Amino acid sequence: MENKFVSMVVYLHNEEENIIPFLDVAVDRISNLFKKYEIICVDDACSDGTVEKIKEYAFEKKLEGIVSVVHMGFYQGIEPSMNAGRDIAIGDLVYEFDHVVVDYDKNLIEEVYNEMVKGYDIVAASNAKYRRFTSNLFYGLFNKYSKSFAKIGPETFRIVSRRAINRIKTIGTHIPYRKAVYANCGLNMSTISYQPVLKAEGQANKATFSERGGLALDTFIYFTNIMERISAFLSGAFLVASLFCLIYSIVDHFFGENIASGWPSLMSFMSIGFFGIFALLTIILKYLAVMLNLIFRQQRYMVADIEKIVGK
């Protein structure tokens, strides 16, 4: 057994049917791999019997590790909730389970740790068959325009070293999207792809389309320059249109083309105006990118209370 203290941070939102099978697998592997561990279950406004199941399991199994439940003040989504759980974790290593549907072989929990000891600070497990079109589009754009050489993709769970956690805390208190921050922290990352052993219909992201869209937009603004590129492209397009209209107006003036009176002047004015708007927008976006460091320093989650179920 490894002489390390390990934290398991588990995200929960109405997982009454899946939590016990997950704990059976995760606790079995963690308790046999590490001498000391803690389980931090983040209750993101569960309205079913998820928390009660956890309490029953902890007492029936007489778990040796510390089991705590972080009750969020209201439904806040996976990113703020997992940030709250990670912030109170005290382990040398932290397992982050974004989903509790076990569609992988239980030995994968040990495999990501074995990969970490090869020299990585963040190792993720990714379902090789779980692909959504919108997710592929998002990850493709992010990886293309991100300032980091590390690539991100869909992940089921990951293990993070204490050094990586300390590093991202120096980046900012508010972590809008963990995977993007990990990719930009400058430490070594690795991903293990696995073939699912069962259909993981319950693993689908429970966030609404607006939540995912808002998170994607925030991530693009924080970690890429894609918005600046779009604004610069539109500025260039309207500049070309302005030059075309100007040349067209000159040709019409000297060669007497029979076109509607005032049309070239109007189009020139509109094109120059739009060029000015998007050029100004590019400057504003660049300025806002500098100001984002201030936003990073704000805390963005609300915890109602932390309930310790067992602890030895």
- DSSP state letter for 75: -
From first to last of its 312 residues, what are the pLDDT tens digits of the chain? Answer: 788 999 999 999 999 999 999 999 999 999 999 989 999 999 999 999 999 999 999 989 888 888 999 999 899 889 999 999 999 999 999 999 998 999 999 999 999 999 999 999 999 999 888 677 788 888 888 888 887 778 888 899 999 999 999 988 887 666 778 888 898 888 999 999 999 887 654 445 556 666 777 777 777 777 777 777 777 777 777 778 777 777 777 776 666 655 556 666 676 677 677 777 777 777 776 666 656 655 555 556 667 778 777 655
CATH 3.40.50.12160 fits 2-208+298-310, yes or no: no
Contact 70, 42 (CB under 8 A): yes
Give, in degrees to the nearest 5, the angle at Cα 45 between 40 and 48. 95
Predicted TM-score (pTM) of the model is: 0.77
Residue 124, SS3 per DSSP:
strand
| Residues 177-190: b if buried by 16+ CB within 10 A, e if exposed | bbbbbbbbbebebb
Distance CA 30, CA 203 (A): 21
Q: Name the residue ranges covered by the structural domains of the chain.
A: 2-208+298-310, 226-296
Q: Is the dihedral of CA 12, 16, 18, 20 positive or negative?
A: positive
Alpha helices in the chain (DSSP H): 19-33, 50-61, 78-88, 108-116, 133-145, 162-171, 178-183, 209-223, 226-255, 263-296
Apex 146 CA angle, 145 and 148, nearest 5? 140
**Neighbour-count burial of 300, counting CB atoms closer than 10 A to its CB (0-12 exposed, 13-18 middle, 19+ buried):** middle
Q: What is the CA radius of gyration of the chain?
A: 25
| Contact (CB, 8 A) for 54 and 309 | yes
CB 31 within 8 A of CB 84: no
